[in-house]
Amino acid sequence: SDIAMDIIKDIRSNIRLNEHGIANTHTTTYPRSYAGFNDAWDFQKFADNFCINVIELGPDSMQFDMLGVDAAIANAFRRILIAEVPTMAIEKVYIYNNTTVIQDEVLAHRLGLIPLTADAKLFEYRQGDDADGTPEDTLEFELNIKCTKNLSAPKDTTDLDVLYKHHKVYSKDIKWIPLGNQKDLLTVKPVYDDILVAKLRPGHILDVKLHAVKGVGQDHAKFSPVATASYRLLPQIRLLDQILNSDAEDLQRCFAPGVIEVYRNKNGDQEARVVDARKDTCSREVLRHPHLKDRVELSKVRDHFIYSIESSVAITPNELMCRAIKIMMGKCRTLLQELEKSEQD
How far apart CA 30 and CA 117 sit, in angstroms, is: 44
User: Do 271 and 248 fall within a single domain?
Assistant: yes
> In the structure, what pLDDT confidence band is assigned to residue 115 with cuts at 50, 70 and 90?
very high
Overall number of domains in the chain: 2
Flag whether pLDDT at 3 surpasses 90: no
Q: Average pLDDT over the chain, rounded to whole? A: 91
pTM for this entry: 0.86
The average pLDDT across 13-32 equals 83
Residue 32 binned pLDDT confidence (cut-offs 50, 70, 90): confident
Per residue in 272-289, pLDDT tens? 999 999 999 999 999 999
Closest C-alpha to 191, from 117, 89, 113, 121: 117
Note the pLDDT of residue 13. 84
Share of the chain above pLDDT 90, in %: 75
Kindly report the three-state secondary structure assignment for every residue of 274-336: ECCHHHCCCCCHHHHCCCCHHHEEEEEEEEEEEEEEEECCCCCHHHHHHHHHHHHHHHHHHHH
3-state secondary structure string across 240-276: CCCCEHHHHHHHHHCCCCCCEEEEECCCCCEEEEECC
Please identify, among 223, 245, 275, the residue that sits at the C-terminal boundary of a domain.
Answer: 223
Q: How much is the average pLDDT of 118-124?
A: 93
Residue 336 lies in a domain: no
Which residue segment(s) compose the domain that 262 sits in? 2-82+229-307
Of 9 and 336, more confident: 336
Q: Which helix (H) or strand (E) holds 191?
A: none
Distance CA 326, CA 86 (A): 12
Instruction: Tell me: do 120 and 214 sit in the same domain.
Output: yes
The pLDDT of 238-243, averaged and rounded, is 92
Of the candidate ranges 8-22, 151-165, 213-227, the one whose mean pLDDT is the lowest: 8-22
Q: Are 253 and 264 within 8 A, CB to CB?
A: no
Q: Return all residues near 248 (Cβ < 8 A) that are at least 6 apart.
A: 260, 262, 270, 271, 272
pLDDT in tens, 130-171: 778 899 999 999 999 999 999 888 988 888 989 999 999 999
Domain CATH number, residue 175: 2.170.120.12
pLDDT tens for each residue of 67-113:
999 889 999 999 999 999 999 999 999 999 999 999 999 999 999 99
Pair (48, 167) in one structural domain? no
Among 223, 247, 263, which residue terminates a domain?
Answer: 223
Kindly tell me if the per-residue pLDDT of 18 is higher than 70: yes
Are 258 and 195 part of one and the same domain? no
Predicted local distance difference test score (pLDDT) of residue 131: 77
Kindly state whether residue 327 falls inside one of the protein's structural domains: no
Residue 303 covered by a domain: yes
Cα–Cα nearest to 82, from 304, 233, 196, 231: 231
Are 76 and 94 found together in one domain? no
Say if 208 falls within a structural domain. Answer: yes
Residue 8, pLDDT score = 78
* Residue 209 scores a pLDDT above 90: yes
C-alpha 302/C-alpha 24 separation (Å) is 9
Within-domain flag for 152: yes
The reply to whether 194 and 247 lie within a common domain is no
- Whether 1 has a pLDDT exceeding 70, the answer reads no
Answer whether residue 74 is part of any domain: yes
Sorted by sequence, the CB contacts under 8 Å of residue 246 that are 6+ apart come out as none
- The predicted model gives 217-242 an average pLDDT of 94
What is the pLDDT at residue 168? 94
Collapsing DSSP states into helix, strand and coil, what is residue 180?
A: coil
Cβ count within 10 A of residue 311: 25
pLDDT digits (tens, 9 = 90+) for 55-74: 999 999 999 999 999 889 99
Q: What local confidence, expressed as pLDDT, does residue 27 receive?
A: 78
Highest mean pLDDT among 6-15, 36-45, 147-156, 198-207: 198-207
309, pLDDT greater than 80: yes
